Structure 1
């Protein structure tokens, strides 16, 4: 699906950079062509600065999004989520970061959460990187309790897991 979206900007590398940023951050485009996160408007100049293009490129990108019904439906309905990865250790929650052998494989989340469940830990949040946007995608799992060392050992035995990091 992502390649279909970015494909609509083929031959327009600057606009494709803008689209990638909007998708990565979960930014919406409202009916007026403004880039927003919830009800907070993000100035096109800030978007342009982040991706290294002129503000007019952002303007042209949002105009194109609004003119294409499929893009319009997607970008008016996308939402960002908060990741608690960096905050969790500060408030006594456990953080497990899984690097899979191949993020395209089926069942990685099921295998990992199955092992975690055997240790009677409640999962507060699980977030995975989209392999389309990230060269080295990871799965971050936030648990209610600190991670026992035995859990790390068991997760390392899972066939689809390349590495396990605890924060």
Structure 2
């Protein structure tokens, strides 16, 4: 689906950058056809400044999304809080898994099975989409400190290329 959305904007590299940014950050469009985060309008100037494009490019992208077959996807897009940014402050651990091949199934399952077998409580799990991200990853936020033996088990999984914690 993501590739179909990006293909829709392939004739405009600047609009493709805007769409990619929206998808990566959980931004959508509201019912007025403006860029929005969880239905709250986001000024086009702010998105434009972040992407180093003209405000009119952002506005044109939002109008084009609103007129596209993907309108409902963007109207219903929602952003969620990322606990990894505050994990230390609230006594959580973050494990980032760089998979061998993010397009193959089983990465999340293998990692969660290891954690589950050690009764480690999960607070949040998210993956970056391999079609949208140049460096797809699995981020797992867990209760408390991670025992070193669990880290070694995760690192030894055949689906894991690299582990960052």
Measured in 2, the distance between the counterparts of 1:108 and 1:74 equals: 26
Map Cα deviations across residues 104-154 of structure 1 (whole Å, 9 max, x no partner). Answer: 111110000000111110111101111122222111111112100000111
RMSD (CA atoms)? 1.2
Measured in 1, the distance between the counterparts of 2:48 and 2:154 equals: 41
3-state SS of the aligned residue for 2:84? coil
What corresponds to 2:6 in structure 1? Answer: 6
What corresponds to 1:125 in structure 2? Answer: 124
Q: Are the aligned partners of 2:30 and 2:40 in contact in 1 as well (CA < 8 Å)?
A: no
Map Cα deviations across residues 29-58 of structure 1 (whole Å, 9 max, x no partner). Answer: 012121111243211111111112111111
What corresponds to 2:91 in structure 1? Answer: 92
What corresponds to 2:21 in structure 1? Answer: 21
Q: Are the aligned partners of 2:34 and 2:41 in contact in 1 as well (CA < 8 Å)?
A: yes
3-state SS of the aligned residue for 2:70? helix
What corresponds to 1:67 in structure 2? Answer: 67
Measured in 1, the distance between the counterparts of 2:141 and 2:67 equals: 40
TM-score by length of 1: 0.94
Measured in 1, the distance between the counterparts of 2:27 and 2:85 equals: 21
Measured in 1, the distance between the counterparts of 2:38 and 2:67 equals: 21
Q: Write out the 4+ residue segments of structure 1 that deviate beyond 4 Å after TM superposition.
A: none
What corresponds to 1:41 in structure 2? Answer: 41
1:91-110 matched pairs, under 5 angstroms: 91-110=90-109
3-state SS of the aligned residue for 2:83? coil
Q: Which runs of 5+ in 1 are unaligned?
A: none
Measured in 2, the distance between the counterparts of 1:107 and 1:44 equals: 39
Q: Which runs of 5+ in 2 are unaligned?
A: none
Q: Which range moved further: 38-47 or 150-159?
A: 38-47
TM-score by length of 2: 0.95
Q: Are the aligned partners of 2:102 and 2:136 in contact in 1 as well (CA < 8 Å)?
A: yes
